[in-house]
A and B are shown apart, each in its own frame.
Chain A
Amino acid sequence: MEGERLGVLGPNGGGKSTLLKLTLGLLTGYAGTIEVFGVTPEAARKGRMIGYVPQRTRAELGFPLTAWQVVEMGAAVGVSPWRSLSREHRETVRRSMEVVGAEALAEQTIGSLSGGQLQRVMIARALACRPRVLLLDEPTVGIDVAGQKQFADLLKHLHDVLGLTVVVVSHDIRTVAAGCDRIACLSRTLHSHVAPEGLTPAVLAEVFRHDVAAIFGEVHVDAHSASACSDPSHRT
């Protein structure tokens, strides 16, 4: 549904990346019909309806670009070459950086940013395209627990301020449990469609084909404060 935060949880090899590529129109030759906001994924991609933030950026971080210039790419990508960027475009860039809390980074070169800062800039770039949905692929890979909490807060902030539809794809239970309204479990087939509170050990064991809770600790979810963590006392 538009305006909600959907978490897609699944193990490695469960089909998360394939689902993403299909949604983004990067994979063709499938059977059946896929529609994104009523149009084909290719049309949605060309219409820049989807703001995409990939797992571990593959951007060339040695480029001599400031964070502002990187975010500006998102606002400028669809603008005719004959037109210069308007004040409105610049305002979009400024607001996108502000909403992710990256406005202070504007003049820093992209290669000098930390992992967390870089992620904020990449999300700001995706927002600068003015997408209808923000797609985040494994957003917390390589980020420590404090960073994951900050990410959950950021997701909630984006939802509160922009009312944007957000899809978070991850194999990490805490990432999707934190700050998502609904969760789809994908392990070759779409297993269940639950609220974060429904991530019971039985559901997790079914998705991961393993007793995840026994290894990982139970997942405690407080959907209202959009925070979740595994209880260290449950670790084995």
Chain B
Amino acid sequence: MHTLTYLSDPDLAGLYWPAVVTGLAIATLCSLLSVLVVLKRLAFIGQGISHAAFGGVGVAAVLGLVGSTAAAATAGQFLVVLAFCMLAALLIAWLSERGGTEADTAIGIVLVGAMALGAILLHQAQGRGAVVSVETFLFGDILSVGWADAVIGWAVAAGVFAALWYTRRRLIFWTFDQTVARALGVSDRAMNTLLMILLALATVTAMKLAGVVLATAMLVLPGAVALRLSHRSGPVMALAVVAALAGVLGGLLLSFELNWPTGASIVGVLAGLFAVARLIEVIRGGRAVAG
């Protein structure tokens, strides 16, 4: 068992344990959000925000915050990428609300624009001698995850949980029935902004392990799996957490044992869980709940 060796060998444990602890934070953080993402059909905007993170990585690389697992560099990179993702979310909202652009077109434009900017800035940073692997940011790299990422991951998870708990009544009402919630004084702008901030936080946290291309999977698949298996809110939440934890831990196990890329392994396990959940739904003769 490579897994036991990696996690118990004093020389290797320091490399792999941070990934496990960060993975658990990401699973917890993304699981509940993913239910909202699926029900509110936010998968594509999640994709837009996560790809925008690549532009943020480019900015961080130019600022010299990439390529180190030092706590200061990790925190700096996190903040720069987070700020970039939020700007991208605001730009998408502005283009679609005020700019007369369809929402999916706005997402598509910001997505490719940010990717292009990221590629140019990373190229510039590499030209100045920075050691930056583009693949690390696109698909994630377990060895780039340090203890600072684990601390940030759990801090973000706690913050997201606190925000979800505090806004639970207004947020659930608004996501369920925006028209009536608005008529009862729930602010569209406040709820939209909150969701975008939470999505950006989750994406930037998940990016280290899964990469910008695969991070969205964590924000879609756990909720999609849970909604195939139950129509009740309590069980759906619990199943989303279980699916996310199974995806991350199963993916890490596959990655350790078979030396597969970690992000792809996690997504593979989650996609497998979705297939099984769908099969169970079909056998039960149930209908698809959403998405």
Which residues of chain A are near B231, meaning CB under 8 Å? 64, 109, 111-112
Q: Is A19 located at the chain interface by the 8 A CB criterion?
A: no
Interface residues as binary, B216-243 with A (CB distance below 8 Å gives 1, 0 otherwise): 0000000000010011110110000000
In whole angstroms, how far apart are the Cα atoms of A205 and B289 in the complex?
A: 46
Which residues of chain A are near B175, meaning CB under 8 Å? 60, 63
Most buried by A among B168, B233, B235: B233
Near B by CB (< 8 A), chain A positions 38-91 give: 45-48, 50, 52-54, 57-60, 62-66, 69-70, 73-74, 76-79, 81
Nearest Cβ distance between residue B86 and chain A, in whole angstroms? 24
Main secondary structure of the interface of B (DSSP, over half): helix
- B8-16, B110-118, B135-143, B182-190: which lies at the interface: B182-190
Q: Is A166 located at the chain interface by the 8 A CB criterion?
A: no
Q: In the complex the two chains form, is B183's CB within 8 Å of A24's CB?
A: yes
A48-B167 contact, Cβ under 8 Å, with A60-B40, A64-B232, A64-B233: no
Which residues of chain B are near A66, meaning CB under 8 Å? 232
Q: Is B172 located at the chain interface by the 8 A CB criterion?
A: yes
Cβ 8 A contact of A111, one of B168, B170, B289: B289
Which residues of chain B are near A59, meaning CB under 8 Å? 176-177, 180
In whole angstroms, how far apart are the Cα atoms of A129 and B291 in the complex?
A: 30
Interface residues as binary, B150-184 with A (CB distance below 8 Å gives 1, 0 otherwise): 00000000000000011111101101111111111
In whole angstroms, how far apart are the Cα atoms of A58 and B13 in the complex?
A: 52
In whole angstroms, how far apart are the Cα atoms of A122 and B179 in the complex?
A: 12
A52-B183 contact, Cβ under 8 Å, with A64-B231, A66-B232, A111-B289: yes
In whole angstroms, how far apart are the Cα atoms of A98 and B243 in the complex?
A: 38
In whole angstroms, how far apart are the Cα atoms of A59 and B180 in the complex?
A: 9
Q: Is A125 located at the chain interface by the 8 A CB criterion?
A: yes
In whole angstroms, how far apart are the Cα atoms of A111 and B227 in the complex?
A: 13
Cβ 8 A contact of B176, one of A53, A65, A79, A126: A65
Residue of B nearest to A66 (CB): B232
Which residues of chain B are near A162, meaning CB under 8 Å? none
In whole angstroms, how far apart are the Cα atoms of A74 and B177 in the complex?
A: 11
Q: Is A34 located at the chain interface by the 8 A CB criterion?
A: no
A70-B179 contact, Cβ under 8 Å, with A45-B185, A81-B167: no
Residue of B nearest to A72 (CB): B169
Cβ 8 A contact of B179, one of A47, A54, A69, A74: A54
In whole angstroms, how far apart are the Cα atoms of A77 and B40 in the complex?
A: 19
Nearest Cβ distance between residue A91 and chain B, in whole angstroms? 18
Residue of B nearest to A79 (CB): B169
Nearest Cβ distance between residue B195 and chain A, in whole angstroms? 14
In whole angstroms, how far apart are the Cα atoms of A53 and B183 in the complex?
A: 10
In whole angstroms, how far apart are the Cα atoms of A73 and B184 in the complex?
A: 11
Q: Is B290 located at the chain interface by the 8 A CB criterion?
A: yes
A65-B233 contact, Cβ under 8 Å, with A52-B184, A57-B177, A58-B178: yes
Q: In the complex the two chains form, is A81's CB within 8 Å of B169's CB?
A: yes
Q: Is A26 located at the chain interface by the 8 A CB criterion?
A: yes
Which residues of chain B are near A62, meaning CB under 8 Å? 39, 227, 289-291
Q: In the complex the two chains form, is B185's CB within 8 Å of A48's CB?
A: yes
In whole angstroms, how far apart are the Cα atoms of A59 and B175 in the complex?
A: 8
Nearest Cβ distance between residue A73 and chain B, in whole angstroms? 5
Cβ 8 A contact of B173, one of A47, A53, A73: A73
Q: In the complex the two chains form, is B232's CB within 8 Å of A48's CB?
A: no
Near B by CB (< 8 A), chain A positions 80-132 give: 81, 109, 111-112, 122, 125-126, 129
In whole angstroms, how far apart are the Cα atoms of A33 and B51 in the complex?
A: 47
Q: In the complex the two chains form, is B169's CB within 8 Å of A63's CB?
A: no
Nearest Cβ distance between residue A166 and chain B, in whole angstroms? 16
Interface residues as binary, B170-214 with A (CB distance below 8 Å gives 1, 0 otherwise): 101101111111111110000000000000000000000000000
Q: In the complex the two chains form, is B179's CB within 8 Å of A64's CB?
A: no
Most buried by A among B176, B183, B227, B230: B183
Q: In the complex the two chains form, is B169's CB within 8 Å of A76's CB?
A: yes
Residue of A nearest to B168 (CB): A81
Q: In the complex the two chains form, is A109's CB within 8 Å of B232's CB?
A: yes
Residue of A nearest to B181 (CB): A77
Which residues of chain B are near A77, meaning CB under 8 Å? 169-170, 173, 181, 184-186
Which residues of chain A are near B40, meaning CB under 8 Å? 60
- 8 A-B residue contacts at CB 8 Å? A24-B183, A26-B183, A58-B178, A59-B177, A63-B175, A77-B181, A77-B185, A79-B169
Binding site for A on B (CB under 8 A): 39-40, 165-170, 172-173, 175-186, 227, 230-233, 235-236, 289-291
Binding site for B on A (CB under 8 A): 24, 26, 45-48, 50, 52-54, 57-60, 62-66, 69-70, 73-74, 76-79, 81, 109, 111-112, 122, 125-126, 129
